[in-house]
Amino acid sequence: MTDKIKNIHKTLLSDNWYVLNKYSFDYLSDSGEWQHQEREVYDRGNGAVVLLYDLENRNVILVKQFRIPTYVNGNADGMLLEACAGLLDADDPITCVIRETEEETGYRVATVNKVFESYMSPGAVTEILHFFIAAYNGASKVSDGGGLDEEHENIEVIEISFDDAYSMIASGEITDAKTIMLLQYAKLHLFN
């Protein structure tokens, strides 16, 4: 804990889908003055994301699904092309990402490699996202994927060449931060 923050008060604003709190606190500035501040903080839990890759065929697996926040912020159809991801819930990051991979993509992977973790929007969201990569091949496919019906997921699984996926960053067809970060990692460490 830091001695630069005091008088923290938390007020629950919403506990509908996830938790939204308002924090009031005093922060000691670099000038030595205590400043009163208020911030809204969204807590949706931590998550994990994985880029499935096939080095031999130079392919990756991505998923496409509707994301209402992107739709209300100008994404014409609300569809987003992204790496497979999910919330940890009560699981550790490795268990989560292996479960989500099979549910969303239909591929079963036994081994995943953690490459880094990141706060994705630290100005307002508490979430830490754990980033993984995992190799796959044709034998890894155990179902069609698509997500869980009870979670109202309607996920399209897309196998695409790495080069095409990587070029979709520049063309604006891939705008999801976690996916861009993993594709950049893959460019530096896998497909160089």
**Rounded to 5°, angle at Cα 184 from 168 and 105:** 70
Q: How confident is the model at residue 146 (pLDDT cuts 50, 70, 90)?
A: confident
pLDDT of res. 151? 64
Tokens read off for 101 = 């991979």
Q: Which DSSP string do the residues of 110-175 spell out, in sequence order?
A: S--EEEEEEESSTTTB--EEEEEEEE--GGGB-S-----GGGT---EEEEEEHHHHHHHHHHTS--
Separation of alpha carbons 165 and 119, rounded Å: 24
Q: How confident is the model at residue 147 (pLDDT cuts 50, 70, 90)?
A: confident
Give the predicted TM-score (pTM) of the model: 0.93
pLDDT of res. 149? 66
pLDDT surpasses 80 at 55 = yes
Tokens read off for 190 = 């896998």
**175-179 contacts at long range (C-beta below 8 A, 24 or more positions apart):** 175/70, 175/75, 175/80, 176/80, 176/81, 176/82, 176/83, 177/120, 178/49, 178/82, 178/83, 178/85, 178/120, 178/129, 178/131, 179/49, 179/51, 179/62, 179/81, 179/82, 179/83
Mean pLDDT of 132-140: 95
Separation of alpha carbons 126 and 131, rounded Å: 16
pLDDT surpasses 90 at 1 = no
pLDDT surpasses 70 at 56 = yes
pLDDT of res. 192? 86
**Mean of the per-residue pLDDT values for the chain?**
94
pLDDT of res. 17? 85
Query: Could you read off the pLDDT of 4-29 as tens digits, one per residue?
Result: 999 999 999 999 989 999 999 999 99
Percent of the chain at pLDDT exceeding 90: 90
Give me the residues paired with residue 163 across strands: none
Give me the residues paired with residue 119 across strands: 128
Q: How confident is the model at residue 172 (pLDDT cuts 50, 70, 90)?
A: very high
Q: Pick the range with the lowest mean pLDDT from 7-11, 103-107, 151-155, 157-161.
A: 151-155
Separation of alpha carbons 157 and 143, rounded Å: 11
